[in-house]
A and B are shown apart, each in its own frame.
Chain A
Amino acid sequence: MTALMEVRDLAVHFRAHRGVARAVDGISLEWQPGEILGVVGESGCGKSTLARALLGLVSPAAGTVARDGATVDGKAARRELRRHVQMIFQDPYQSLNPRQRVATIVAEPLRVHGVPAGDHAERVRRAMEDVGLDSESFLDRYPHQLSGGQRQRVAIAAALVLEPDGLICDEPVSMLDVSVRAQILKVLIELRRQRNLGLLFITHDLSLAWSLCDRLAVMYLGRIVEQGPAVDVIERPQHPYTQALVAAIPVPSAGARIRAPLSGELPDAANIPSGCRFHPRCPRRFEPCDSVDPPLLATPGPGQVAACLLHDPALTADAVA
Chain B
Amino acid sequence: MTAERGVLQLLLGTWRGRIGLGVLGLFVFLGIFGSAIAPDDPTASSLDVLGGISADHWLGTTENGEDVFSQLLVGARVSIVVGFAAAAISALLGATVGLIGGYFGGWTDRILDAFENWFLVIPTLPLMIVLARLLEPSLTVLIAVIGLTSWAGTGRIVRAQVLTLRERAFVERARALGAGDGYIIRTHILPNTLPLIFANTVLIVAVAILSEAALAFLGLGDPTRVSWGTMLENAFSAGAPSAGAWWYIVPPGLCITLLVLSVSILGYLFEEYVNPRLREQT
Contact = CB atoms under 8 A, between A and B. Distances in A.
Nearest to B183: A112
Contacts of B173: 87-89, 95-96, 155, 158
29 contacts: A55-B176, A57-B175, A78-B178, A83-B178, A86-B177, A87-B173, A87-B176, A87-B177, A89-B169, A89-B172, A89-B173, A90-B169, A91-B169, A94-B168, A94-B169, A94-B170, A95-B170, A95-B172, A97-B170, A97-B188, A97-B192, A98-B192, A99-B191, A108-B187, A112-B174, A112-B178, A142-B2, A158-B173, A158-B177
A109 interface: yes
Given A97-B188, A97-B192, A99-B3, A112 B169 contact: no
Contacts, number: 60
Interface in B174-201: 174-179, 183, 187-188, 191-192
A193 interface: no
Interface in A78-108: 78-79, 82-83, 86-91, 94-100, 108
Contact of B169 (A82, A95, A142): A95
A168 to B, nearest CB: 8
A90 B170 CA distance: 11
Q: Is the interface of B mostly helix, strand, loop or mixed?
A: helix
Given A99-B191, A99-B192, A112 B177 contact: yes
Interface string A242-254: 0000000000000
B170 A96 contact: yes
Nearest to B174: A108
Interface residues of A, number: 28
A161 B179 CA distance: 15
Contacts of B177: 82, 86-87, 108-109, 112-113, 158-159, 162
Contacts of A91: 169
Nearest to A89: B169
Contacts of A158: 173, 177
Nearest to B1: A144
A55 B177 CA distance: 9
Contacts of B191: 97, 99-100
B2 A57 contact: no
Interface residues of B, number: 18
* 7 closest Cβ pairs, A-B complex: A82-B178, A95-B169, A94-B169, A87-B176, A109-B177, A97-B170, A112-B179
Interface string B212-232: 000000000000000000000
B138 to A, nearest CB: 40
Interface of A: 55, 57, 78-79, 82-83, 86-91, 94-100, 108-109, 112-113, 142, 155, 158-159, 162
Contact of A109 (B2, B169, B178, B188): B178
Interface string B145-170: 00000000000000000000000111
Nearest to B189: A97
A57 to B, nearest CB: 6
B172 A57 contact: yes
Given A94-B170, A98-B192, 5 more contacts: A94-B168, A97-B170, A97-B191, A100-B191, A112-B178
Contacts of A159: 177
A113 B178 CA distance: 8
Nearest to B175: A57
Contacts of B172: 57, 89, 95
B170 A57 contact: no
A65 B176 CA distance: 15
Contacts of A82: 176-178
Interface in B54-98: none
Nearest to A97: B170
Nearest to B173: A95
Nearest to B179: A112
Contacts of A97: 170, 187-188, 191-192
Nearest to A91: B169
Nearest to A87: B176
A126 B187 CA distance: 24
A88 B170 CA distance: 10
A94 B174 CA distance: 12
B197 to A, nearest CB: 14
Nearest to A80: B178
A55 B179 CA distance: 12
Contacts of B169: 89-91, 94-95
Contacts of A113: 177-178
A169 to B, nearest CB: 12
Contacts of B183: 112
Contacts of B179: 108, 112
A79 B176 contact: no
B192 A79 contact: no
Contacts of A95: 169-170, 172-173
For B174, B177, B183, B188, which residue has the most chain A Cβ atoms within 10 angstroms? B177
Contacts of B192: 97-99
Contacts of A98: 192
Contact of B178 (A79, A96, A142): A79
Contacts of A155: 173
